């Protein structure tokens, strides 16, 4: 009966109640089975904190269970997901601590290659230690040379990291080592970007064609290849703007956001056609917001709103303006006017629903400031 109640709570996303019941049901015989099933479900629903609690209970109560390693791996991945979700290095450090525990407890386990790659990701993405990350990736590639999937992913991540460091030649050399397995399409796409960053657009298009022609390449890789192919159409339509845009993209890959904004402005100064102009303006707006340049972000959006050729994107620009004014500048009356303008001018927009929801909350939260 209790198990049915737990499944009911789980089905209706009342995870706290489900977890409490399942903890009480666990015995030496079940050895963490209920908690592991719960953790998988919670993770798939992005409830990482609760999934982490379940994995930790398995580790504490059933350290000799066959599910203990699974729990360690799951806990490490949950910590990393929480680090991403909260932009909090505390969880990143906990991920590394968890990885070290697993490496000590299970030194010969075949899953340690993937776990070591996770450690490299933490050093790269949260501590911005590219040298440490590259060393980890290269060591994994050597240690697991007979495990092609792991070694290919290590070579790919190493190449990606060299790109982030600004070394295109070394990045290309690493990507050349990736085999014809699951990482082949992603490696070709990254090599296409390298060619693009060198302004070798013919080679970039050729590599994109190889990605699209590969059997088994689908989903995100296909979408990324098509997006890159569409961007490179501007080689003939707006060659100068494309070069500045590509330079900005390259700087952004290296996390040089302010320099990237400068290049985007140069691209706009060439007066590119409408389809490319709006892409640049909206990207510049989001980038300016991310570095705290809120007046610049608002101005880029306003240029979209005021440009008759870009009317199809005015709703998106208004929503970005409203969000910045609301969340960043805390200007409640002006944010209200912008959200209200979206509903008045673009009632069928995809941004109308979130705008309406926010207006409803603002009326409750700030009755003295909004009508």
| 209-253 confidence digits (pLDDT tens) | 999 887 556 678 889 999 999 999 999 999 999 999 999 999 999
Q: Give the pLDDT of residue 18.
A: 72
- Interatomic CA distance for residues 50 and 17, integer angstroms: 11
**Residue 368 within a domain:** yes
**Mean pLDDT for the chain?**
91
**Residue 346 within a domain:** yes
Q: Give the pLDDT of residue 233.
A: 97
Can you state the angle between helices 314-323 and 352-365, rounded to 10 degrees?
Answer: 30
CA distances from 139 to 35, 99, 128, 242 (A): 34, 16, 19, 38
Q: Which residues contact 296 (CB under 8 A, 6 or more apart)?
A: 261, 284, 288
pLDDT at 159 over 80: yes
- Interatomic CA distance for residues 213 and 207, integer angstroms: 10
Q: Give the pLDDT of residue 6.
A: 61
pLDDT in tens, 303-324: 999 999 999 999 999 999 999 9
**Residue 155 within a domain:** no
**CA-based torsion, 357, 361, 363, 368: positive or negative:** negative
**Residue 235 within a domain:** no
The CATH number that applies at residue 4 is 1.25.40.10
pLDDT at 110 over 60: yes
- Give me the number of domains the chain comprises: 2
**Residue 231 within a domain:** no
Domain residue limits at 366: 248-371
Helices then strands, each counted (H, E), the chain: 21, 0
């Amino acid at each position: 009966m209790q198990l049915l109640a737990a499944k009911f709570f789980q089905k209706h996303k009342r995870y706290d109640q489900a977890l409490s019941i399942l903890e009480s049901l666990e015995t030496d015989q079940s050895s963490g089975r209920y908690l592991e099933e719960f953790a998988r479900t919670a993770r798939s629903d992005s409830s990482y904190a609760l999934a982490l609690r379940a994995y930790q209970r398995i580790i504490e109560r059933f350290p000799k269970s066959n599910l203990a390693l699974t729990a360690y791996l799951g806990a490490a991945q949950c910590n990393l997901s929480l680090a991403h979700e909260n932009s909090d290095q505390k969880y990143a450090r906990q991920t590394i601590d968890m990885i070290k525990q697993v490496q000590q407890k299970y030194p010969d386990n075949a899953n340690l290659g993937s776990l070591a790659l996770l450690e490299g990701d933490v050093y790269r993405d949260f501590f911005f230690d590219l040298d440490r990350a590259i060393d980890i990736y290269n060591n994994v590639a050597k240690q697991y040379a007979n495990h092609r999937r792991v070694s290919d992913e290590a070579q790919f991540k190493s190449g990606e990291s060299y790109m982030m460091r600004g070394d295109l030649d070394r990045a290309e050399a690493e990507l050349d080592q990736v085999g014809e397995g699951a990482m082949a399409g992603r490696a070709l796409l990254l090599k296409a970007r390298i060619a693009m960053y060198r302004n070798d657009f013919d080679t970039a298009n050729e590599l994109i064609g190889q990605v699209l022609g590969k059997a088994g390449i689908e989903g995100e890789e296909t979408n990324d290849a098509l997006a890159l192919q569409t961007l490179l159409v501007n080689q003939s339509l707006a060659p100068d703007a494309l070069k500045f845009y590509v330079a900005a993209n390259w700087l952004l890959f290296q996390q040089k956001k302010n320099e990237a904004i400068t290049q985007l402005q140069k691209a706009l100064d060439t007066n590119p056609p409408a389809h490319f102009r709006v892409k640049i303006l909206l990207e510049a707006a989001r980038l300016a917001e991310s570095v705290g340049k809120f007046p610049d972000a608002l101005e880029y959006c306003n240029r979209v709103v005021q440009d008759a050729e870009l009317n199809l994107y005015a709703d998106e620009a208004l929503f970005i303006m409203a969000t910045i004014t609301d969340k960043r500048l805390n200007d409640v009356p002006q944010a209200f006017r912008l959200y209200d303008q979206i509903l008045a001018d673009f009632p069928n927009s995809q941004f109308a629903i979130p705008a309406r929801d926010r207006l409803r909350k603002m009326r409750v939260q700030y009755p003295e400031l909004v009508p």
